[in-house]
Amino acid sequence: MTGPTERMTGARALIECLYREGVDTIFGYPGGVLLPIYDELYSSDIRHILVRHEQAAAHAAEGYARATGKTGVCLATSGPGATNLVTGIANAYMDSIPMVALTGQVPSSMIGNDAFQEANITGITMPITKHNYLVQDVKELPRIIKEAFHIASTGRPGPVLVDLPKDITTDMIDFHYPDKVELRGYNPTYEGNLQQIKKAAVEIGKSKSPVIYAGGGVISADAAAELKQFAEKAQIPVTTTLTGMGGFPGNHPLFMGMPGMHGTKYANYAIQESDLLIAVGVRFDDRVTGKIKSFASNAKIIHIDIDPAEISKNIKVDIPIVGDAKWILAHLIKYAGKAQSEEWIEKIDGWKKQYPLHYMEPAGDEIKPQYIVEQINAVCPDAIIVTEVGQHQMWAAQYFKYTEPRTFISSGGLGTMGYGFPAAIGAKVARPDKVVIDVSGDGSFQMNSQEMATIVQNNIPVIIAIFNNGFLGMVRQWQEIFYGKRYSSTCIRDSVDFVKLAEAYGALGIRATTRDEVRPALEKAIASGRPTLIDFIVECEENVSPMVPAGAAINEILDLERKE
């Protein structure tokens, strides 16, 4: 570490700023305008993971953030390097994940002249960042980096981009890192209004059929313990969104699974018949609400969220409480008593028995994808599960029992195919003590399969479990149901031998084609301690069930279980 007023280049100052923010890992890809920064990284203690595509750098930074709660950092060069980060930045923005994206830029004197590899990345990313900066004076660099990390990690978290012209990295600065951040107009509310909390407590005491609907905000606020304590004290059943998985123990008697389009029937029925819906850290996404007019139409709604812009944005609420979920739940525990929910819990328990998640057992020894998830849960119940996007993502949400926060990582709002593998890299780098498994589809995996080189070169023992059905499965499912099985451009059968691909990169490749081979394949992958890909050949027309059609009420549920 250097003294507070040492003279140095902007590139070295950037590294010093990152040290001060506790950054230990950066995911990136070099380029010409970044050479001064990479030269400083060469002799720094910050670990740099060289990805093979900039999109993977952004996803890996997000996976790192979601596994730890710290702010993830990615780095890309100007022009196409910066624009390749856009999907990952948008993903982090939609799911409220703290991330700082650093981009190189052409020299200040050339900005606006269509210089080689110039792109207006601050303009491009303005709608998908919490805030962004173009550094125009090296003297402003320490303040900007301090602000960037503060904005990314406070209030409702999100990505912040800092664009660095090359001359900024070579100009000299008398380095001093600010002690605090002062941003006029940016003061997130953490302490909820006590009168609103007491009002909510009264409604809880009167309620006969309450439901807690919890989302990713519970995990961001590190409020899982408070949520559990509150639910147990008030005796209220809990349903969590896709990004909220692990925010409440999946094996708890009060847990109802995920709500919405591919949620459990009992979670959807409970929401629709509730008289009080307590929403914590959620944004009432359309995949959960279905038909807005019919969503929880008989319930009073309490909405706890740190972002006031989310209150009554999609669903009109009766008791808004703006603030930090951890703080507000702690005070609800203090003021709220037990709901009048004995008969309600019995009714939901009856629904659980009547409408369990289920799938048809195979006639032969073929592999059902749901069975793979069950076996992963049995073999390694404390693994971090990361997913791509599609059918496998829904099965991972339905059939794995997440008991701790930050053990399920998936693309929620943006639904990004190709997200899971690089996010798993970030999660494993962040948590080397945990088994990290990327539950993937054969379509999604091919979006960023080049990152096999990253895990082999850096010896990052991620396990990739490919559910290989030869289709873009979720799109095929919609084509089957709504387009009469006209499978237009969704069949990708025999497009690649994944085992040979893994071996070509130097990873371990395993193939499982029968039910009896599933568990041994998983055990071999875990025991190997190597980067491993398992190619599970699964039923090609298996559907995710249950399913609520788009635009329908969430209790208008289709059971798509195929009859053998």
- pLDDT tens per residue, range 230-263: 999 999 999 999 999 999 999 999 999 999 999 9
Distances (CA, A) of 37 to 42, 317, 554: 9, 49, 51
Catalytic residue among 110, 117, 140, 556: 117
In a domain, 564, yes or no: no
| E strand residue ranges, 136-205 | 159-165, 172-174
**DSSP 8-state assignment for residue 491:** B
Q: Mark whether 109 and 220 lie in a shared domain.
A: no
Calculate ∠ Cα 282-271-556, nearest 5°.
110
Q: What pLDDT band is residue 74 in, cutting at 50, 70 and 90?
A: very high
Domain that includes residue 55, residue range: 7-174
**Final residue of a domain: which of 354, 386, 420?**
354
- In this prediction, residue 472 carries a pLDDT of 97
Q: Mark whether 303 and 406 lie in a shared domain.
A: no
In a domain, 74, yes or no: yes
One-letter identity of residue 124: I
pLDDT, one tens digit per residue, over 106-116 is 999 999 999 99
Q: SS in 3 state form for 342-401?
A: HHHHHHHHHHHHHCCCCCCCCCCCCECHHHHHHHHHHHCCCCEEEECCCHHHHHHHHHCC
In a domain, 360, yes or no: no
Active site residue 517: no
User: Looking at the predicted structure, is the pLDDT value of residue 4 above 70?
Assistant: no
- In this prediction, residue 26 carries a pLDDT of 98
Whole-angstrom distance, CA of residue 325 vs CA of residue 206: 22
Q: Mark whether 350 and 376 lie in a shared domain.
A: no
Q: What pLDDT band is residue 560 in, cutting at 50, 70 and 90?
A: confident
Catalytic residue among 54, 62, 118, 542: 54
Q: Mark whether 381 and 350 lie in a shared domain.
A: no
Q: Mark whether 69 and 164 lie in a shared domain.
A: yes
In a domain, 562, yes or no: no
Active site residue 116: yes
- In this prediction, residue 347 carries a pLDDT of 98
Q: Copy the structure tokens of residue 384.
A: 């971090």
CATH number at residue 246: 3.40.50.1220
User: Looking at the predicted structure, is the pLDDT value of residue 296 above 80?
Assistant: yes
Residue 122, classed as helix, strand or coil, is: helix
pLDDT, one tens digit per residue, over 442-473 is 999 999 999 999 999 999 999 999 999 999 99
In a domain, 249, yes or no: yes
pLDDT, one tens digit per residue, over 487-512 is 999 999 988 999 999 999 999 999 99
Question: Percentage of the chain surpassing pLDDT 90?
Answer: 97
Count of domains forming the chain: 3
Q: Mark whether 28 and 159 lie in a shared domain.
A: yes
Catalytic residue among 70, 166, 228, 368: 166
pLDDT, one tens digit per residue, over 190-241 is 999 999 999 999 999 999 999 999 999 999 999 999 999 999 999 999 999 9
CATH number at residue 488: 3.40.50.970
pLDDT, one tens digit per residue, over 474-485 is 999 999 999 999
Q: Which uninterrupted H or E stretch holds 504?
A: helix 498-505
In a domain, 397, yes or no: yes
Q: Mark whether 211 and 340 lie in a shared domain.
A: yes
Catalytic residue among 445, 474, 477, 542: 474
Q: Mark whether 165 and 30 lie in a shared domain.
A: yes
Q: Copy the structure tokens of residue 37.
A: 């920064």
In a domain, 189, yes or no: no
Q: Copy the structure tokens of residue 404.
A: 């701790």
In a domain, 408, yes or no: yes
Q: Copy the structure tokens of residue 383.
A: 């693994």
Question: Percentage of the chain surpassing pLDDT 70?
Answer: 99
Q: Mark whether 323 and 389 lie in a shared domain.
A: no
- In this prediction, residue 331 carries a pLDDT of 98
Active site residue 54: yes
User: Looking at the predicted structure, is the pLDDT value of residue 562 above 70?
Assistant: no
Q: Mark whether 426 and 507 lie in a shared domain.
A: yes
User: Looking at the predicted structure, is the pLDDT value of residue 2 above 80?
Assistant: no
The residues pairing with 213 across neighbouring beta strands, listed in sequence order, are: 239, 279
User: Looking at the predicted structure, is the pLDDT value of residue 166 above 70?
Assistant: yes
Whole-angstrom distance, CA of residue 232 vs CA of residue 246: 16
Task: Indicate the pTM of the whole model.
Answer: 0.96
pLDDT, one tens digit per residue, over 31-72 is 999 999 999 999 999 999 999 999 999 999 999 999 999 999
The residues pairing with 536 across neighbouring beta strands, listed in sequence order, are: 467, 512
Whole-angstrom distance, CA of residue 100 vs CA of residue 64: 12
pLDDT, one tens digit per residue, over 508-530 is 999 999 999 999 999 999 999 99
Q: Mark whether 16 and 155 lie in a shared domain.
A: yes
- In this prediction, residue 563 carries a pLDDT of 41
Closest among 320, 272, 314, 275 to 296, alpha carbons compared: 272
Report, as an integer, the average pLDDT of 288-296.
Answer: 96
- In this prediction, residue 561 carries a pLDDT of 67
**DSSP 8-state assignment for residue 323:** S
pLDDT, one tens digit per residue, over 388-412 is 999 999 999 999 999 999 999 999 9
Q: What pLDDT band is residue 363 in, cutting at 50, 70 and 90?
A: confident
Active site residue 117: yes
Q: Mark whether 161 and 216 lie in a shared domain.
A: no
